[in-house]
Amino acid sequence: MKRKTYAAVGTGGRVPMFLDPIVDTYRADCELVGLCDPSEVRRTFHQKRLASEYGIAPVPTFSDFDQMMRETHPEIVIVCTPDALHHEYIVRALEAGADVISEKPLTIRADFYAKIAEAVRRTGKKVRTTFNMRWTPGIGKIRQLIADGTIGCVRHVDFEYYLNTSHGADYFRRWHSEKSVSGGLLLHKSTHHFDIINWWLDAIPAEVFAMGKLCFYGRENAIARGDGRFAEYPRYTGEPAAAEDPFAFDLNQSESTRDLYLNAEAETGYLRDRNVFRAGIDIEDSMSVMIRYRTGEIVNYSLNAYCPDEGFRASICGDRGRIEYTERHASHILTGDKEVQTDGDDYTMHVRVQRHFEKPVEFDVEKVSGGHGGGDALLQCQMFSSNPPVDATNRNAGHEQGAASLLIGAAANQSMQTGQPVRIEEMVSLRPDKQRLHELV
């Protein structure tokens, strides 16, 4: 059987989730034919890592995307660039005749998404959005309870996500802290959560109102609460004054962060370890969003990126009762090798179901080994196996379902700017004749 050929553009910290199963678990089904990145250091890091760990021949690397496409002719392109560039490489890959797997968010603006949708229509090729949280066992259990009618028809959802001062702070060290590159956390991070809600409700968002601000990270906030000593240096690596700083992140702490980021600085100018209390950060760290769906459901969503622990709480209210779901996570930071994800005893998933006039039922959801509570391995199987299991609960997501989540974040950004609610259909047309998420590609 001929193996499917894959190429990847963007070789930062996220790409091992895609590269490693291609050359390891699914090597009988897949072949990695090219890596593209403007940085020779990063390309070479992954080329050598994959050859050393998995015994494969060195993968060809390219600084020019179009050259890679001409010379390797991949059937599928994996896009792991900074978020603001996703749409550019998605469109170029489609036009070159390849299907695409894109890391979320699909893109960061409604007009960028319109370019993707037009390219899909014009080329007839496919785009997959990687929502690995759909595949975690706890999230799937809530979907099942809702679909089974356990609490009747869902009317309202409260969803509170809290990032800790390790994982949450890391977004403020990296390019994610620049809204023009990441769209802010309501695009880069919250699209995971918006997608979960969309999937649980099997609904398409219609209207969004949001508020948010930078109230913890950034120089002014540190000085205002008496932590100005932590704002006196632009970065952490090689800075003696950062020795007692609990937010410090030293790129010499591991071989992968040193080889992938520190050694590439002269070539790229990118600093992976910028001070989270520097001036110039323009994304929010505290956000609240209200969402109304085409089918009438209302959602209250919040995200805070400076909490002492990490996880989320969701309360789903139906006309026959209520589901409460809690996840607690261990810290994890992308280092460029494999994602540091210490699930262990720190990863818990708890469900409480109470129907009207009945006693509550509570239980824990059993964990599955692997990242994101076992969700990563299930998603990787769908992406790379030549014969994946049937996706009975419609967890695979194309470009339109990817848009249904990113457009909430894009509308929220617009709402924070204007102070007004935003109708998504006025930003971009997303199948206005449809009501349910499963009706979208």
Tens digit of each residue's pLDDT (9 = 90 or more) over 374-394: 889 999 999 999 999 999 899
Query: Cα 396–136–317 angle (5° rounding)?
Result: 95
pLDDT band at 242 (very low <50, low <70, confident <90, very high): very high
Find tokens 């995971």 and name the residue: 192
Provide mean pLDDT across the span 247-259: 94
CB 375 within 8 A of CB 136: yes
pLDDT over 90 for what percent of the chain? 91
pLDDT at 98: 98
Mean pLDDT computed over every residue of the chain: 95
Beta-strand relationship, 205-213 and 310-318: unpaired
pLDDT value, residue 423:
98
Q: Given its phi and psi angles, is residue 363 left (phi above 0), alpha (psi -120 to 50 degrees) or beta?
A: beta
164 pLDDT higher than 80 = yes
- Tell me which residue of 397, 310, 316, 301 sits closest to 351, measured CA to CA: 316
Locus of tokens 């759909």: 134
- 348-355 vs 361-364, strand pairing mode: antiparallel
Q: Are 82 and 10 in contact (CB under 8 A)?
A: yes
**Amino acid making up residue 262:** L
> Which of these, 48, 42, 47, 50, lies nearest to 21 by C-alpha position?
50
Q: Categorise residue 21: left if φ over 0, alpha if ψ from -120 to 50, beta otherwise.
A: alpha
At residue 378, the 3 state secondary structure works out as helix
Please determine, for residue 247, whether its predicted confidence score (pLDDT) is greater than 90.
yes
Instruction: Give the alpha-carbon dihedral of 50, 14, 365, 288, to 10 degrees.
Output: 180
List, in order, residues 6 or more apart from 21 with CB less than 8 Å away. 380, 383, 384
Written as one letter, the residue type at 402 is: G
pLDDT of 341 reads 42
Identify the weakest region by mean pLDDT among 116-125, 185-194, 314-323, 332-341.
332-341
- Which residues partner with 287 through β-bridges? 212, 303
pLDDT in tens, 131-160: 999 999 999 999 999 999 999 999 999 999
Q: What is the mean pLDDT of residues 409-415?
A: 98
**Which residues neighbour 224 within 8 Å (Cβ) at sequence distance 6 or greater?**
none
- CATH T-level fold of 133-217+281-439: Dihydrodipicolinate Reductase; domain 2 (3.30.360)
pTM: 0.95
CATH architecture under which domain 4-131 falls: 3-Layer(aba) Sandwich (3.40)
pLDDT band at 338 (very low <50, low <70, confident <90, very high): low
Q: What is the mean pLDDT of residues 229-243?
A: 97
Q: How far is CA 167 from the centre of its chain?
A: 13
The residues, any chain, with a CB within 8 Å of residue 48's CB and separated by 6 or more, are 58
At residue 342, the pLDDT reads 41
Task: Report d(CA 310, CA 304) in Å as an integer.
Answer: 10
Write down the pLDDT at residue 223: 98
Confidence grade of residue 244 (pLDDT, cut at 50, 70, 90): very high
Residue ranges per structural domain of the chain: 4-131, 133-217+281-439, 219-268
Q: How far is CA 232 from CA 11, 176, 201, 278, 378, in A?
A: 31, 21, 47, 8, 45
- pLDDT tens digits along 85-104: 999 999 999 999 999 999 99
Q: What is the mean pLDDT of residues 354-376?
A: 89
Note the pLDDT of residue 372.
76
Cis bond upstream, residue 432 (ω within 30): no
* Alpha carbon separation from 301 to 288, 316, 343 (Å, rounded): 6, 12, 25
